[in-house]
Amino acid sequence: MARDGTYRGGRRVKAGSKPEALVDKIAAGKEANVLETHDFDPEALFAPDEPEGTSDLYGEDMPEPSDYLSARQKDGKPLGADEIYEETWLWLKERRCEKLVNPRLIESYAQAFARFIQCEEAVSTYGLLGKHPTTGGAIASPFVSMSQNFQKQANLIWYEIFDIVKQNTTTAFISTPQDDMMERLLRKKKERD
């Protein structure tokens, strides 16, 4: 790094081949670092001045989603992002990666996807065209572009979460929570018709 705080040389960011997923390394018989529970020695963390009763502590399965994920919207319905949060967290837990992904990242994904669903419902309700406020002519519905923006945001966050899982899981998997979300979206459209 130069004195002015800029980088002057070395490898470019995101340059080169991408790291191989852990499950692919194991399947190919390559050397892979897998953290096993038997490798962890809890005695190494033992504190001799530990107060009485602290060994009886228990953890919660899932951190509670923030209140804004289930907040009531203008139409009186809840946003529903809390359901997406729970489904995504359970999906991560099945792959033993729930501790590797920041809960705020899961919340961001859940909110973006819930907003995408909300915009798609508005497109279904109001149509693809809108009325220009001054000229009165037909214009593209603003819900379409908002829907695209929220979908892009949700996908970018999902790729980040999925990459964490891909790099750290030891089991192969096929389905994703997004499959369920898309199915739910299609089911909601079908119920309206």
Q: Quick check: 85 and 106 in contact, CB under 8 A?
A: yes
CA torsion sign, 121 to 123 to 127 to 130? positive
Strands 129-131 and 138-140, by their bridges, are antiparallel
Name residues whose C-beta falls within 8 Å of residue 165's C-beta, 6 or more positions apart in sequence.
92, 95, 97, 100, 101
pLDDT per position as a tens digit, 32-65 = 776 665 555 656 655 555 555 555 444 447 778 8
pLDDT per position as a tens digit, 129-147 = 888 888 988 988 889 999 9
Q: What is the mean pLDDT of residues 114-130?
A: 91
Q: In this model, does residue 110 exceed pLDDT 90?
A: yes
> Cα 132 to chain center, whole Å?
36
pLDDT of residue 72: 87
User: Is the overall model pTM greater than 0.75, yes or no?
Assistant: no
Per the listing, tokens 């999906």 go with: 91
pLDDT of residue 57: 45
pLDDT per position as a tens digit, 163-178 = 888 888 766 656 666 6
Paired with 140 in beta bridges are 129
For the chain, give the mean pLDDT: 79
